[in-house]
Amino acid sequence: MGLFARRTALPEDVREQVPLAAGERLLVWAPAGSGWAVATTHALWLPSRTGHERLGWEVVDSAAWSAEEGVLAVVQAAPLGGRPRRWTVRVEDARDLLLVVKERVRATVVLSRQVPLAGGRGVTIVGRRRPGSDRLAWSVSVGEGVDLGDEAVRAQVEQALRSVRSEVGG
């Protein structure tokens, strides 16, 4: 079997919960908890209480899989001032899925800029291109010890975000 060989067919009821946009294709999937983790050319779909929830590649910050625990952990990028949402899903074998997730997330990154702040701390501003679009989605990863509740710090971060966005016209 090749790298992305599908050992199990994706059930039809799951296909119905993962509506594909024009030009979007299924890439790889794996049984996950009470549902399926499904990677398409545009998004990662994870099981939720109501079926499956879509995470566009442009909002996925990172993913990791623990073979020992059988858990796929996905972190959703946060807008300025927001908190990243974390997903943990039991997946028996997520090797192929994780490879696709990492490749798709990397492919969305147009710009990643470290911005130093006073006190040796900083943030990372990331501009990601949505698959099939020219629009950029912006997120700010806040370094440890950075307090966006401090008005001076927040103003500095907002100015840095405006500056970076203007560089790329986004």
**Integer Cα distance of 44 and 66 in angstroms:** 18
Mean pLDDT of 18-45: 91
pLDDT, position 3: 47
156-169 CB burial, b ≥16 within 10 A, e <16: bbeebbeebeeeee
User: pLDDT (tens digit, 9 = 90+) per residue, 39-62?
Assistant: 999 999 999 888 889 999 999 999
pLDDT, position 99: 94
Per-residue pLDDT at 32 exceeds 70: yes
